[in-house]
Amino acid sequence: MIGHSDLAALTVRQIIFHDVPRNPRGSNGQPTLTDTETTTDARRVGILKKRLTQVFGSGAAFEVEFLTTTASPVPPLVHSLTTQTLPSNDFVPASRKMAQYLFEKHMGSTSAGLLCVIAITSGARAGIAIMKLEREEGADLHLKTAGGHSAFEMSVLDNLVLTDGTRLFKSALFLTNATGLDCLACDSQNDPMSRSDAAKFWLAFLGCRFVVDPAISTQRWFDVSVNFINQEVHDPVVKQAMYEHLVSELNSNRQAVSPKRFIQDYVKTDLRQPYEEFLRQNNAPIRQFSKDTGDIQSKLRRLSYHTEEGLAVIVPADKEKLVEVGKAQIVVRDALRTISRK
Amino acid sequence: MVDLEETRRRWLEERPRFATFGEQLTLRLKEALKEEGCWGEVTTRAKDMDSLIRKLIKKPHHTYDSLGDKCGVRVIVRYKSEVDLVLKLARRVFHCGEPENTAERLDHNKVGYLSTHVDVRLYKNDFLASTFPPEVFCAELQIRSLAQHLWSEMSHDTVYKNDDGLVHLAGPLKRRVFLLAGAIEIADNEFDRLNIEMPHVPEVELLQSLERHYYKLTTHRADIDLSLETIRWLYPIYQIEVPRIRAHLDEVWNDSSVMLQAVYEAAEQDPTGRSAFLLQPEALMIYDLLRRKVWDIRQAWSDQGLPPKELERMANAFGISFDA
């Protein structure tokens, strides 16, 4: 488990960057592998730490574990580096192997980028952070005065990384625990849980897989959320709206669910804190998880009955038997709980 | 009369070591104050050559070796009642002589320079005792409240610093000097009493509680107005009584002090990136709410019209991300 205390106490010990270009089929390109660590100062370390916290503390980071069999050199290299005393002489060669493998995994459609490997400690825990950073464009303005006139001169900066605008990026954090390693991964550009090859690319590079079965996470989050709506939301209109959003989120085309994003987008301000606490207390996921609605399909499907006079009756698919449709009438066999007026 | 030429030669040679000795004492006192959560300004100074010579001329019964204050360390605390605490801490880390409280030198109908002085040396079993042998290296530790320091500084270059100077002043002038010293002493006493007897309003009670932990993390002084204002709208988020919030914050401190120390050490190294609220005692409360009631504090922060980036900087420093 990697928590906020680990991220807060994080200390950067060694850092290196390698340039990993695109690798279209038939190309003779090669990555630019550096052979010396990047020297840094407190301010730069501060920026790095901030970005690491933003990404690994976010709802978009998900728990992963190393695959038992994988072609990726990352698992053994991470295991080896996290058991050594820092600074380690193996750090630079290990990072070069990772960058070389990343280049080999690159396809024609994969963006070029810089692979950043960081050896870290957090209290007594040792760790490795890996980030793939894509270069961004920006502009720099200078005020120039000439001939009594002043104007801003603009220059384009096209080698920017880790700007404030890039909050999520391909990254992974491995921290030792009493028995092994805790691992978090994040992937912003592609939906990490998508089944496409492009999306699987980052996890394949890391030699990792998700820790929790997506079907279990999905069912747990749905059930706990429904319980919250039933037990804690008292306004019938709000209750209905939140339920609709919940079902809609699970029926959407997104392959992953971020409970934090759901709270931000759909939960009323005064219910956000109680809802998040309810999820925690009931062991429902807070971090992003891969969506698999296979086990709750019947709860998500709804039947709509529309009458000639414009009435609508919406029924969960698994409660279909409660509605009896006659020639000139519809009978709902259930007790009335509330009436809401919109 | 002591050989002043020999004194000059020896002091020229030994002064740098005494200066280093003073720095070591300062570091230890700062650390001890921090552990106690007590704010104090600690400074050190090895005497200048001319000051040392003047002292030996004025006090001919002293020799170079017997002069105890060749090196001085000064601790200025906010309140008079904290002077005893500093003395207690000094005894814990150094071998201390008999303290001298200058107030005891004054008759009950006299006012003037007030400070506590004590000679300090390293303990014989101190790991630095071989570098700074206690029989050679001694420093005078002066402990004062801010008000006592004000009098001392203002009177330093004047004739009314001590009774000898005052004797020659005309009666009305002498009276004004006594009134001034008395006013400062009254202020000192009142600041102390006010701090102890401060009305039990929630934000003041909580601030006092928070300050104990805050000064264990840093020596930076905070903006108290901002603290009180912030605590005033933060504490209702807890929805429990103030004594329970105080007890809870003590628990938070106990659970998180190691992590918080790491955060403050990192922030000290990168002053440009830290939030202004990190150097405020209520930072502990903000941390606790970010950890437990992030949505509530974000809403309250926004309701107050405070810059959201500042709260995010705080969150990031404590390892918390706002990104969904």
- Binary contact (A7, B319; C-beta < 8 A): yes
Over residues B145-155, the pLDDT tens digits come to 988 888 877 77
Confidence (pLDDT) at A197: 56
Confidence (pLDDT) at A341: 62
Residue B318 touches partner A, C-beta closer than 8 Å: yes
Contacts of A10 in chain B (CB under 8 A): 319
- Binary contact (B323, A55; C-beta < 8 A): yes
How would residue B156 be classed by pLDDT, with cut points 50, 70 and 90? low
Interface test with B, best of A40, A45, A54, A55 (most B CBs within 10 A): A54
Shared domain check, A76 and A23 = yes
Residue A11 touches partner B, C-beta closer than 8 Å: yes
Q: How far is CA B77 from the centre of its chain?
A: 4
- Tell whether A342 is covered by a domain: no
Shared domain check, A205 and A77 = yes
Confidence (pLDDT) at B158: 65
Shared domain check, A260 and A142 = no
How would residue B162 be classed by pLDDT, with cut points 50, 70 and 90? low
Whether A164 shows a pLDDT value over 80: the answer reads no
**For chain A, how many structural domains are there in total?**
3
* Of B143, B195, B133, nearest in space to B32 by CA: B143
Q: What DSSP string runs through A248-309? A: HHHHSS-SEE-HHHHHHHHS-HHHHHHHHHHHHHTT---S-EE---GGGHHHH-EEEEE-TT
Shared domain check, A163 and A136 = yes
Over residues B214-227, the pLDDT tens digits come to 999 998 989 999 99
* Of B52, B322, B324, B104, nearest in space to A59 by CA: B324
Pair A257, A289: CB distance under 8 Å: yes
Among the partner residues B270, B294, B296, nearest to A42 by beta-carbon distance: B270
Residues with Cβ within 8 Å of residue B47, at least 6 apart in sequence: B11, B15, B55, B69, B70, B71, B72
Over residues A224-241, the pLDDT tens digits come to 999 999 889 988 888 888
Confidence (pLDDT) at A190: 47
To the nearest whole Å, the CA of A58 is away from the closest chain B CA by: 5
Q: How many CA atoms lie within 13 A of B168 on its CB side?
A: 7
Confidence (pLDDT) at B105: 67
Pair B317, B263: CB distance under 8 Å: yes
- Tell whether A327 is covered by a domain: yes
Angle at B28 between CA B22 and CA B30, to 5 degrees: 100
- Binary contact (A60, B323; C-beta < 8 A): yes
Contacts of A2 in chain B (CB under 8 A): none
Domain C-terminal end among A152, A179, A210: A210
Q: What is the ipTM of this complex?
A: 0.75
Confidence (pLDDT) at B18: 94
Confidence (pLDDT) at B200: 76
Average pLDDT of span A98-123? 89
Whether B110 shows a pLDDT value over 70: the answer reads no
Among the partner residues B263, B294, B296, nearest to A8 by beta-carbon distance: B263
Pair B144, B42: CB distance under 8 Å: no
Amino acid identity for residue B214 in this structure: Y
Interface test with B, best of A1, A2, A4, A41 (most B CBs within 10 A): A4
Interface A–B counts its CB contacts (< 8 A) at: 88
Residue B125 touches partner A, C-beta closer than 8 Å: no
Average pLDDT of span A134-160? 83
Confidence (pLDDT) at B124: 92
Pair A38, A16: CB distance under 8 Å: yes
Over residues B255-281, the pLDDT tens digits come to 999 999 999 999 998 888 889 999 999
Shared domain check, A47 and A194 = yes
Shared domain check, A237 and A205 = no
Pair A47, A55: CB distance under 8 Å: no
Pair A122, A177: CB distance under 8 Å: no
Confidence (pLDDT) at A89: 87
Instruction: Find where tokens 């929805």 sit.
Output: B239
Whether B60 shows a pLDDT value over 50: the answer reads yes
- Binary contact (B270, A258; C-beta < 8 A): no
Confidence (pLDDT) at B108: 63
**3-state secondary structure string, B93-139?**
HCEECCCEEHHHHCCCCCCCCCCEEEEEECCCCCCCCCCCCCCCCCE
Distance CA B295, CA A276 (A): 9
Residue A2 touches partner B, C-beta closer than 8 Å: no
Shared domain check, A120 and A176 = yes
pTM for this entry: 0.71
User: Scanning every residue of chain B, which has its alpha carbon at the shortest distance from the alpha carbon of A164?
Assistant: B309
Q: Which of residues 234-293 of B touch A (CB under 8 A)?
A: 256, 258-259, 262-263, 266, 269-270, 272-273, 291, 293
How would residue A85 be classed by pLDDT, with cut points 50, 70 and 90? confident
Shared domain check, A319 and A263 = no
Whether B166 shows a pLDDT value over 70: the answer reads no
Residue B317 touches partner A, C-beta closer than 8 Å: yes
Over residues B184-204, the pLDDT tens digits come to 888 888 888 887 777 678 999
Over residues B19-39, the pLDDT tens digits come to 999 999 999 999 999 888 888
Of residues A320 and A105, more confidently modeled: A105
Confidence (pLDDT) at B157: 62
Shared domain check, A205 and A243 = no
Interface test with A, best of B255, B316, B318, B322 (most A CBs within 10 A): B316
Shared domain check, A291 and A253 = yes
- Tell whether A339 is covered by a domain: no
How would residue B1 be classed by pLDDT, with cut points 50, 70 and 90? low
Shared domain check, A224 and A161 = no
**3-state secondary structure string, B210-255?**
HHHHHHHHCCCCCCHHHHHHHHHHHHHHHCCCHHHHHHHHHHHHHH
Among the partner residues B296, B319, B321, nearest to A5 by beta-carbon distance: B319
Distance CA A32, CA A103 (A): 10
Query: For residue A305, what are the domain limits?
Result: 301-332
Over residues A178-228, the pLDDT tens digits come to 888 999 998 765 455 555 555 578 889 999 988 888 888 899 999 999 999
- Tell whether A340 is covered by a domain: no
Going from N- to C-terminal start, the domains of chain B cover 4-166, 201-317
Q: In CATH, which superfamily holds the domain spanning B4-166? A: Beta Polymerase, domain 2 (3.30.460.10)
Average pLDDT of span A245-267? 89
Average pLDDT of span A314-322? 79
Amino acid identity for residue A93 in this structure: P
Shared domain check, A274 and A289 = yes
Over residues B279-323, the pLDDT tens digits come to 999 999 999 999 999 999 999 999 999 999 999 999 999 999 988
